């Protein structure tokens, strides 16, 4: 019965209709047709709406079943974080009402999106998303930190604000996203905004139930056709892709202005709540890990946490219990390691690395996009990378302390208390739901029996028969009204909890904000100081560069040099390695990473096209600005393919066994001029011998 009614809406009005109908039937002297009608109504009404679901969930996420544990197989690029876990941590007061409004308007679930944003229960649920996301994001952080090298996973809590355009926006509360990273992982634990649906099938994060919303993204340059999105919850895919596209636009705009700019994007969940930006990209199911350029889709699932873990949460040592680990976080972390193994880390991190290096060495920054074998470049890069490593290691201390403060501190203890209280509430409601279902079953049985009795008797009933029939009907009515009453009580239990929890939510939000703010303030002050010290040290050890990066003219394949190049230049034109941006007359924007001559792409290169509909990339050799030879083509919804190009025209499949030349591959780097560094440039006399000569 439960499964039959699984997707049906529960409506209490059915019960009052049922009661009225039965009363009417009885008062009319149990006229057979009317009674039969009432019985039928009773049966169908109960069957349709009388049974309650018991807030069930899956014990193990699809995240776990579609992957297996694996270790990191790639070297970590120096100074680069492998994963940054982003989550909503706080809402500014000015943004609260907008957040409630958008939360009640843009919903994930089966119900209609029309809830009263001012209702306390809606607001409590909205607030609890923030609190729970804060807590459960740490579970994912912990699992990732266990699997990945030390200092390579960072936390990035976001503050939700009201933007100038009146829309919601989110900003990182720490510096974690200022460093280059390979993957950004957004995490939110979602709850449907209607407390009445708590026991139904709507997404819920309450007690032992968690509905994770996630997105895993790299920089768009590592996954051009999907705007960098690799895996995401279904409702977030188009929003996440829109954020990736916005990032690409910002990057192009900065490059056109001769800057290596750095911007962080809103949390995908916030973009979803705004409901404004959306970019369609190809999708594939979660278990498809092949070469198809499409986003792996994680369907919404309500995860039921480990029962034993839930029961021990409140006990001493509850902080050592992670109820989300087995059912979700562990599998999710394995997924992320798998994604890291299949991600082109150099492409994913190159933009962030160049931006970070530009903060202290602009001459070197753009050169790092492609790299070089020039000894002077390698010598200088080694210093820059070590400096970035130091900054990353430093910021990871902040992440570890945030984890410690939130998970192991009072905040974590409060959330665990809250989860335990919610679990108790939910269990109570589950118990009531089972009672309600039992009562409903009795009502149905009674009604069916009464119906059968009525149909089998003729009009000449004996007194005994009439009394027995009335008792049957009265029993059915009682059972029905009892089911209704239990249901009301179950709802009241949920409502009572949500209504009373509001001050505690406020308290927890305030603790969380104090904690992050204090951590960030302390870190920022010291970080600035550290950066100054490191940059001074870097400047003192500055090595000569044979070639420095500057800005000059660049074109795609026309004579007019309207584009901008950052990298090696000669006579005011792009010559050597770097990045160039330009725009075609039809509005298509093009960015090119590779080698150039006389202001045009020439040699190995990676060209990304952004037109109105999609983004795609070609990688291989360019001559006079045009693709020439075997090129690797990346398009949405298709696997990467090797094609042969002639003077910019795709002329067919590439010969079997051929290979596209990548500008990022050391094997194919053009020969560099090696500048001999004489000893007089390098030498310094150790003091030992200086003293000897005195």
Site for another protein in 447-506 (CB under 8 A): 474, 477-478, 481-482, 485-486, 488-489, 492-493, 496-497, 499-504
Position 428 contacts another protein (CB under 8 A) = yes
Q: What is the DSSP string of 203-269?
A: ---BTTEE-EEEEEE--GGGSGGGTTEEEEEGGGHHHHHHHHHHHHHHHHHHHHTT------PPPHH
How near is the Cβ of 194 to another protein at its closest, in Å?
A: 19
Q: Which is nearer to another protein, 113 or 492 (CB)?
A: 492
- Segments of 396-516 assigned E as strands: none
539 contributes a contact to another protein by CB under 8 A: no
- Binding residues for another protein, rule CB under 8 A, total 75
Pick the closest to residue 450 from 427, 423, 413, 477 (CA basis): 477
Which residues between 326 and 355 bind another protein (CB under 8 A)?
A: none
Q: Is 693 in the site for another protein (CB under 8 A)?
A: yes
Q: Among 222, 388, 418, 433, which residue interacts with another protein (rule: CB under 8 A)? A: 418
- Is position 13 an interface residue for another protein (rule: CB under 8 A)? no
**DSSP three-state, residue 113:** coil
Closest approach of another protein to the CB of residue 176, in Å: 14
DSSP state of 610: E
Nearer to another protein (CB atom), residue 96 or residue 389:
389
581 makes contact with another protein (CB under 8 A): no
Query: Counting contacts by CB under 8 A, is residue 382 touching another protein?
Result: yes
Cα–Cα distance, 18 to 44 (Å, whole number): 10
Q: Do 220 and 615 form a contact (C-beta atoms < 8 A)? A: yes
Nearer to another protein, 212 or 405 (CB): 405
Would you count residue 686 as binding another protein (CB under 8 A)? yes
Which part of the chain contacts another protein (CB under 8 A), choosing from 71-79, 286-294, 527-535, 641-649? 527-535
Q: Among 146, 291, 507, 528, which residue interacts with another protein (rule: CB under 8 A)?
A: 507
Angle between the 410-456 and 32-49 helix axes, to the nearest 10 degrees?
160
Q: Within 13 Å of residue 514, how many CA atoms lie on the same side as its CB?
A: 10
The answer for residues whose C-beta is within 8 angstroms of residue 561's C-beta and 6 or more apart is 553, 554, 555, 573, 599
Q: How far is the CB of 369 from another protein (least distance, A)?
A: 23
Classify 157 in phi/psi space as left (phi over 0), alpha (psi -120 to 50) or beta.
beta
- Pick the closer one to another protein by CB: 413 or 438: 413
Kindly tell me which of 108 and 381 has the beta carbon lying closer to another protein: 381
Q: Which two tokens mark 612?
A: 């109105």
Both tokens assigned to 558: 């026309």
* 427 touching another protein, by CB under 8 A: no
Beta strands in 509-653 (DSSP E): 550-554, 563-570, 573-583, 589-597, 600-610, 615-623, 626-634, 641-646, 649-653
Q: From edge to edge, which strands make up the β-sheet containing 181-189?
A: 168-172, 153-162, 81-91, 181-189, 212-217, 229-233, 295-298, 283-285
- Those residues whose C-beta lies under 8 Å from the C-beta of residue 556, and which sit 6 or more positions away, are 563, 580, 582, 584, 590, 592, 600, 601, 625
CA geometry: angle 263, 88, 343, nearest 5 deg = 55
Measured in residues, the chain has a length of 694
List 7, 16, 70, 393, residue binding another protein (CB under 8 A): 393
The Cα-based distances of 390 to 72, 78, 96, 349, 538 in angstroms read 22, 10, 38, 17, 12
The answer to whether residue 253 forms part of the interface with another protein (CB under 8 A) is no
Instruction: Report, in Å, the least distance between residue 60 CB and another protein.
Output: 30
Contact 68, 380 (CB under 8 A): no
| Residue 410 in the binding site for another protein (CB under 8 A) | yes
Name which of residues 21 to 80 contact another protein (CB under 8 A).
23, 26-27
**Minimum CB–partner distance for residue 581 and another protein (Å):** 35
Does residue 511 bind another protein (CB under 8 A)?
Answer: yes
Among 526, 558, 624, 658, binds another protein (CB under 8 A): 526
Measured from the CB atom, the residue of 464 and 686 that comes closer to another protein is 686
Q: Applying CB under 8 A, which of residues 134, 156, 226, 414 lies at the interface with another protein?
A: 414
Pick the binder of another protein from 533, 639, 649, 659 (CB under 8 A).
533
Any contact of residue 683 with another protein (CB under 8 A)? yes
The least CB distance from residue 499 to another protein, in Å, is: 8
Shorter beta-carbon distance to another protein: residue 520 or 619:
520
* Beta carbon of residue 533, minimum distance to another protein (angstroms, whole number): 5
Task: Count other C-beta atoms under 10 Å from residue 525's C-beta.
Answer: 10
Least Å from the CB of residue 693 to another protein: 6
DSSP assignment letter at 49: H
Of the ranges 65-73, 263-271, 305-313, 397-405, which one interacts with another protein (CB under 8 A)? 397-405
The pairing of strands 153-162 and 81-91 is parallel
Residue 445, interface with another protein (CB under 8 A)? no
* Residue 262 neighbours by CB under 8 Å, 6+ apart: 178, 352, 355, 356
Dihedrals phi, psi of 336, to nearest 5 degrees: -65, -40
From candidates 292, 383, 465, 546, binder to another protein by CB under 8 A: 383
519 binds another protein (CB under 8 A): yes
Structure tokens at 8: 């049906």
* Nearer CB in complex with another protein: 223/443: 443
Cβ atoms within 10 Å of 694's Cβ, excluding its own: 5
Is 309 a binder of another protein (CB under 8 A)?
Answer: no
Could you give the string, one character per residue 597-616, with x where binding to another protein holds by CB under 8 A and - elsewhere? --------------------
Nearest to 319 by CA among 206, 413, 209, 424: 413
3-state secondary structure string, 281-307? CCEEECCCCCCCCCEEEECCCCEECCH
Give yes or no for residue 404 binding another protein (CB under 8 A): yes
Closer of 612 and 692 to another protein (Cβ): 692
Of residues 308 and 514, the one with the C-beta less far from another protein: 514
Interaction of residue 671 with another protein, rule CB under 8 A: no
Q: Stretches 51-59, 606-614, 636-644, 684-692: which one binds another protein (CB under 8 A)? A: 684-692
Among 17, 111, 318, 409, binds another protein (CB under 8 A): 409
Taking a C-beta distance cutoff of 8 angstroms, is the pair 87, 106 a contact? no
425 binds another protein (CB under 8 A): yes
Of 197-205, 376-384, 459-467, 604-612, which part binds another protein (CB under 8 A)? 376-384
Based on the shown chain and the rule CB under 8 A, indicate whether residue 431 belongs to the binding site for another protein. no
- The distance of closest approach from Cβ of residue 304 to another protein in the complex, given in angstroms and rounded to an integer, is 22
- What distance lies between CA 243 and its chain's CA centroid? 12
Contact criterion met (CB below 8 Å) for 234 and 299: yes
175 binds another protein (CB under 8 A): no
**Which range binds another protein by CB under 8 A, 240-248, 250-258, 389-397, 592-600?**
389-397
**Nearer to another protein among residue 36 and residue 502 (C-beta):** 502
Of positions 1, 113, 537, 651, contacts another protein by CB under 8 A: 537
């Amino acid at each position: 019965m439960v499964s039959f009614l699984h997707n049906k809406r529960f409506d209490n009005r059915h019960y009052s209709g049922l009661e009225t109908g039965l009363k009417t039937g009885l008062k009319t002297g149990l006229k057979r047709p009317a009674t039969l009608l009432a019985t039928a109504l009773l049966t169908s009404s109960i069957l349709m709406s009388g049974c309650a679901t018991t807030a069930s969930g899956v014990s193990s996420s699809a995240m776990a079943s579609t992957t297996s544990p694996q270790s990191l197989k790639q070297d970590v690029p120096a100074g680069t974080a492998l994963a940054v876990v982003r989550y909503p941590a706080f809402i500014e007061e000015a943004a609260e009402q907008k957040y409630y409004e958008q939360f009640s308007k843009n919903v994930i679930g089966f119900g209609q999106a029309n809830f009263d944003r001012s209702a306390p229960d809606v607001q409590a649920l909205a607030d609890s998303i923030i609190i729970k996301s804060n807590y459960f994001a740490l579970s994912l952080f912990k699992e990732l930190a266990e699997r990945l090298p030390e200092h390579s996973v960072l936390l990035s809590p976001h503050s939700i604000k009201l933007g100038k355009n009146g829309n919601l926006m989110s900003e990182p509360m720490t510096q974690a996203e200022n460093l280059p990273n390979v993957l950004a992982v957004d995490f939110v634990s979602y709850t449907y905004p209607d407390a009445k649906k708590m026991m139904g099938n709507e997404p819920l994060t309450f007690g032992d139930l968690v509905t994770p919303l996630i997105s895993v993204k790299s920089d768009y340059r590592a996954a051009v056709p999907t705007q960098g999105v690799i895996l995401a919850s279904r409702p977030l895919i188009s929003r996440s892709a829109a954020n990736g596209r916005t990032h690409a636009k910002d990057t192009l705009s900065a490059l056109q202005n001769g800057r290596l700019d750095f911007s962080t994007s809103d949390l995908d969940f916030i973009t979803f709540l705004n409901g404004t930006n959306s970019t369609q990209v190809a999708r594939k199911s979660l278990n498809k890990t092949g070469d198809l350029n499409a986003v792996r889709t994680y369907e919404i699932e309500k995860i039921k946490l480990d029962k034993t873990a839930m029961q021990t949460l409140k006990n001493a040592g509850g902080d050592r219990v992670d109820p989300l680990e087995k059912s979700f976080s562990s599998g999710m972390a394995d997924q992320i390691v798998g994604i890291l193994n299949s991600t082109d880390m150099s492409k994913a991190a190159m933009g962030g690395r160049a931006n970070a290096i530009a903060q202290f060495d602009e001459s070197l920054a753009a050169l790092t996009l492609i790299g070089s074998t020039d000894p002077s470049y390698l010598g200088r890069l080694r210093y820059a990378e070590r400096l970035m490593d130091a900054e990353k290691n430093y910021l990871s201390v902040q992440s570890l302390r945030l984890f410690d403060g939130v998970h192991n501190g009072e905040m974590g203890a409060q959330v665990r208390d809250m989860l335990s209280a919610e679990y108790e509430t939910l269990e109570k409601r589950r118990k009531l739901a089972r009672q309600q279902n039992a009562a409903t079953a009795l009502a149905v049985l009674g009604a069916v029996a009464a119906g059968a009795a009525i149909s089998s008797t003729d009009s000449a009933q004996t007194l005994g028969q009439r009394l027995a029939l009335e008792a049957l009907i009265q029993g059915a009515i009682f059972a029905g009204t009892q089911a209704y009453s239990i249901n009301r009580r179950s709802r009241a239990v949920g409502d009572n909890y949500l209504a009373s929890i509001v001050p505690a939510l406020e308290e927890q939000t305030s603790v969380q904000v104090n904690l992050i703010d204090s951590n960030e303030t302390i870190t920022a002050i010291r970080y600035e100081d550290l950066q100054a010290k490191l940059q001074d040290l870097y400047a003192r050890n500055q090595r000569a560069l044979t070639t420095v990066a500057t800005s000059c003219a660049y074109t795609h394949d026309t004579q007019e040099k309207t584009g901008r190049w950052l990298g090696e230049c000669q006579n005011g034109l792009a010559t050597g390695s770097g990045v160039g941006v330009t725009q075609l007359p039809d509005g298509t924007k093009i960015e090119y990473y590779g080698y150039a001559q006389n202001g045009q792409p020439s040699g190995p290169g990676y060209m990304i096209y952004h037109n109105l509909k999609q983004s795609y990339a070609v990688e291989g050799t360019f001559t006079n600005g045009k693709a020439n030879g075997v090129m690797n083509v990346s398009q949405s919804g298709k696997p990467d393919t090797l094609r042969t190009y002639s003077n910019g025209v795709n002329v067919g499949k590439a010969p079997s066994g051929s290979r596209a030349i990548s500008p990022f591959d050391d094997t194919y780097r053009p020969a560099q001029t090696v500048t001999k560094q004489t000893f007089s440039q390098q030498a310094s006399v150790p003091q030992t011998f200086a003293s000897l000569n005195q």
